[in-house]
Structure 1
């Protein structure tokens, strides 16, 4: 029998017993105590994250895209990360695409057995006419999800760059891809509930990957989101103040310039080059 303590850490028993007998204070302190381990685990993966991001940037500069594959919490995190990039960085929605086993309905409700088909993800990827400039990143805390593993194997076989984010060492998903990222956060506070530490680690890594990519693709200037979409009054105000700071004009003039050109970058470029 396999040693589950080594090979299936995400399913290992919690370090805490009798949770139902704990006070609210004890529960939240325990969760916080476990959460403190997450950033240390993610830190250990930085070399692999760097390796993956550097290869993605080269491909995306040539028109490549990134596809996330996941099921359950992992799939939702991938879709979330992808969906936040257009408003944050002003890029098209097809630069980073999140696919979740069971389709969009699985974002809100569990879809029975959706993750068990090893061929489904590749079928879905083919609808996007994927090629060798594209990257597929599988996300699976356990590292055993057939939907994700199958998609990675097919993608790798067809010459796409492949990576994964998992929280178990030496997993099937790591073997299926070129650049595995293994954030070993340890047993969950509630045994097997990978929406906790594992999910937090995955979100942190996704943040690193796409934020770094967007910066290297020129979607940030200084430390500012100069290409953000102006989807509400708060963001219009933020953009206006960015322009004021950058070129030294009044709030009213900056606001008019922003609304005319639609983004901080376009407004500043117009002002400087007029």
Structure 2
């Protein structure tokens, strides 16, 4: 019996990459990348269902966990780590876990992704419970670390989702709310850090941003709860206050210094200041 080759493992649409000029390489990579947003667009109904479930759980006090290996795990950690500074939420609202632990963020840990028991052990360290949501991220859709984690999450009454880049994958079968983004073969055959990674990043952007907006962490189109951790962000905060209230720069600056938070500064603005 011939085993089907996953889309992400199929041969590149381009031959003789090593004979291409730099311009040809860049042009062709860009041409392939254009297909990714179109593939993501097809998955919007799946993304929407997972967002709705996640918002419901987080409003009830739940958290969002990402589990993955390699590039997929790193992308989950990236998305999770950017939510607190962007939306001013606690660091334990969205948590990214990678097979092999934190050392695997920078350096591959051999065979870590093949351990089907470890993901649940990693989740248990955070007191995982049935209020939480677990999303498995895996381009192949067959990573044992992710499959095992989702299976145990299902058994313990959690909501589960996934982001995969092959159709009909084992992980999509396990996840209650699968997201399948079929972006096609990679420019470099099998290099899923490219189109598949881009697809996963786009979906993660959509998922976490939509959830945060639904949870009230954005006002209009502004990051009113962002952390003011450097001069650039303080200046942005002042501009947001000016835009939202009509205050001049001096007043907006004083408001931000007084309340230490853009949202609070806007809420406490008085035209008499």
For Structure 1 versus Structure 2, the TM-score category normalised by the shorter chain is over 0.9
Structure 2 distance, partners of 1:104, 1:225, is 29
Q: Deviations over 1:209-251 (max 9, x none)?
A: 0000000000000000000000111111111011112222221
1:115 partnered with 2:113 = yes
Label 1:105 to 1:89 Cα distance change in 2 as closer, same or farther (>3 A): same
Pairwise CA distance, 1:30: 0.8
Q: How far off is 1:260 after superposition? A: 2.1
The match for 2:60 is: 62
Matched, 1:81 2:79: yes
Counterparts of 1:120 and 1:246 in 2: how far apart (Å)? 47
Q: Where in structure 1 are there 5+ consecutive unaligned residues?
A: none
Q: How far off its partner does 1:271 sit?
A: 2.3
3-state SS of 1:138 partner: strand
Whether 2:4 is the aligned partner of 1:4: answer yes
Do residues 265 (structure 1) and 263 (structure 2) align? yes
Indicate yes or no: 2:135 matched with 1:156. no
Give the match's secondary structure for 2:161: strand
TM-score by length of structure 1 reads 0.97
Give the corresponding residue for 1:244: 242
1:129-144 to structure 2, matched below 5 A, reads: 129-144=127-142
Normalising by the residue count of structure 2, what TM-score does the alignment of the two structures yield?
Answer: 0.97
Aligned ranges 1:170-185 → 2 under 5 Å: 170-185=168-183
Structure 2: how far apart are the matches of 1:247 and 1:18? 58
Tell me the residue number matched to 1:227: 225
Shift of 1:85: 0.3
Q: Deviations over 1:23-58 (max 9, x none)?
A: 111111110111011001000100000000001101
Contact 1:4 1:12 in 2 (8 A): no
- Contact 1:185–1:198 (Cα < 8 Å) also in 2: yes
User: Over residues 185-230 of structure 1, what are the superposed CA-to-partner deviations in whole Å (9 max), with x where a residue is unaligned?
Assistant: 0000000000000000000000000000000000000000000000
Which residue matches 2:189? Answer: 191
User: Which consecutive aligned stretches of 4+ in structure 1 deviate over 3 angstroms post-superposition?
Assistant: none
Structure 1 SS opposite 2:179: strand
Report the secondary structure of 2:227's partner residue: coil
